[in-house]
Chain A
């Protein structure tokens, strides 16, 4: 991989990071008088002045901006407006709960989605294909919160088998993971099918068959590795959608994770916490996208040559 390409890509990641931090600053300044929103509309002028001094809101805008960048760059996210605890520590506490939902979701989504999509492509226009694609459209058209509510209605209200909210025991994971995995598996199935269908139509496959390689071996050794390449892109997308999907699913099931904390902080206008979560998610996404791009060059020799 050429150094020039790498530097260019790193530079773009840094510019994106800078834009992300600037975005949080602009958003903060869009709010009209944060002091009144936090202290309530009846706060006296002295209390407001104190608040502004405490948060540095009485400084000129450019100074605020530079301080803001400096703080974020040193992982100083300030104190929660509501509880005055360090925002980063509050957010960090919620990370394990969110990760414990996302890992099983990711495994289940790949385990269901990819084989389904590959099978649908191999048996194009069969019953399997038709079922897989109906599932894919359903997964796309049914929002996470509707799936979640239907599951609660079925398993909690109707059958009374599962607790509808919070973490009680291992069974608490069943409904949230099913909710998220069904949507993600649909995305994987869709992509796997189109990637596989494209490779199967490639002249390379005809050549392999003409050389006398059995169909199953050609699929296993030639089609599958090639179809896996576009799926790397999906992995990057997946990361974003699973975080977005997590916000909703955590709220439906009252899950004590990042997503629920984000929405609570938005309702309470606790901007320090909102900003911390936004920057952390943005940073993970930027890193994930960077790795996806690097992985492409590493796995696919054609792209590696292009970047020389």
Chain B
């Protein structure tokens, strides 16, 4: 291990040490909430009390237990007599998968694009810059709607791709800027002087140094990703029944706000809890790891 690497490692561990020293209660609760949601998403298949497309038209709008319902349908039923608990489990699974996979794949793709732009410069850098400009010129919701107007039958896969398109630009900008700055720093210059090739410096030396910034941005951006997906599905132009997501459920429930408010309010509550908890974790990570904002 080189001296430069040892020093990097030490600053990294010191930052982590600071990170673990203090655990504000809000953060602990948020982490538990997110962990619980992830657990639910992973085990949803086995937790569902009914089949996803099982309808009972004789038992529509059954209220949840806490609004005077029975334990047959703990969270009530919807306008087709489908079990809300089953729908909610599947919705959490779909929405979290889209947000998680979309964020991670988008971040990886964006980082690679940013590194390529920083490494080659010139016209490659120019093309990336124009693409970033383009995405800044169109609110993402509008861009996504334009794509959904022409793509046939959107499903979970479509939305994962859409969320990658949503996120890549932020990481490309970050990775490009950080890589260009890092090229001038002692450790990268030293590695180059020692004969390390271009990509080796990026992957082995620059990437670990900027990983904290990327991770913090992923966690800060996660709530926005969930909100974008649920917004699009809320508008009713995305995932089609019988499959569902938190946004789809809310979009369906808004028509029954007078008769059966729980259909819209239950998924709304889950969206709120998930995004709020992730925002708190993101803010806390940013402060702890000493990463300046976006």
Contacts and interface: CB of A to CB of B under 8 A. Distances in A.
A199 B1 CA distance: 42
Interface in A1-59: 12, 15-16, 19-20, 23-24, 27-28, 30-32
Interface of B: 130-131, 133-134, 136-143, 145-152, 223-224, 227, 230-231, 234-237, 250, 254, 257-258, 261, 264-265, 268, 271-272, 275-276, 278-280, 283, 293
Q: Which of A28, A140, A194, A241: most chain B CB closer than 10 A?
A: A140
Contacts of A115: none
A145 interface: yes
B146 A150 contact: no
B178 to A, nearest CB: 20
Nearest to A260: B235
Contacts of A172: none
A156 B231 CA distance: 22
A251 interface: yes
Contact of B142 (A15, A28, A247): A247
Contact of B250 (A149, A275, A289): A149
B137 A282 contact: yes
A266 B230 contact: no
Nearest to A142: B272
B136 to A, nearest CB: 7
A286 B276 CA distance: 32
Contacts of B254: 145, 149, 252
Contacts of A275: 146
Contact of A145 (B131, B138, B139, B250): B250
Given A152-B257, A241-B139, 15 more contacts: A12-B130, A12-B133, A31-B151, A140-B223, A140-B275, A142-B275, A146-B250, A149-B254, A149-B268, A247-B141, A251-B234, A278-B142, A278-B145, A278-B146, A285-B139
B260 to A, nearest CB: 11
Contacts of A157: 257-258, 261
Interface in A266-306: 266-267, 269, 271, 274-275, 277-278, 281-282, 285-286, 289
Interface of A: 12, 15-16, 19-20, 23-24, 27-28, 30-32, 137-138, 140-146, 149-150, 152-153, 156-157, 164, 194, 240-241, 243-244, 247-248, 251-252, 262-263, 265-267, 269, 271, 274-275, 277-278, 281-282, 285-286, 289
B268 to A, nearest CB: 4
B33 to A, nearest CB: 12
Nearest to A287: B137
Given A24-B146, A247-B142, A15 B133 contact: yes
B149 A269 contact: yes
Contacts of B271: 143, 146
A265 B283 contact: no
A48 to B, nearest CB: 17
Given A32-B152, A285-B139, A274 B145 contact: yes
Nearest to B148: A266
Given A137-B276, A194-B293, A267-B237, A146 B268 contact: yes
A267 B278 CA distance: 32
A131 B151 CA distance: 44
Nearest to A148: B254
A141 B268 CA distance: 11
A140 B136 CA distance: 19
Contacts of B137: 16, 20, 282, 285-286, 289
A28 B133 contact: no
Of the listed residues B137, B148, B236, the one surrounded by the most CB atoms of chain A closer than 10 A to its CB is B137
A59 to B, nearest CB: 19
B138 A278 contact: yes
A281 B139 CA distance: 8
A24 B146 CA distance: 8
Given A24-B146, A141-B279, A252-B254, A153 B134 contact: no
Nearest to B136: A289
Contact of A23 (B134, B230, B258): B134
Nearest to A145: B234
Contacts of A153: 257, 261, 265
A150 B268 contact: yes
A20 B149 CA distance: 16
A265 B149 contact: yes
A251 B250 contact: no
A263 B142 CA distance: 9
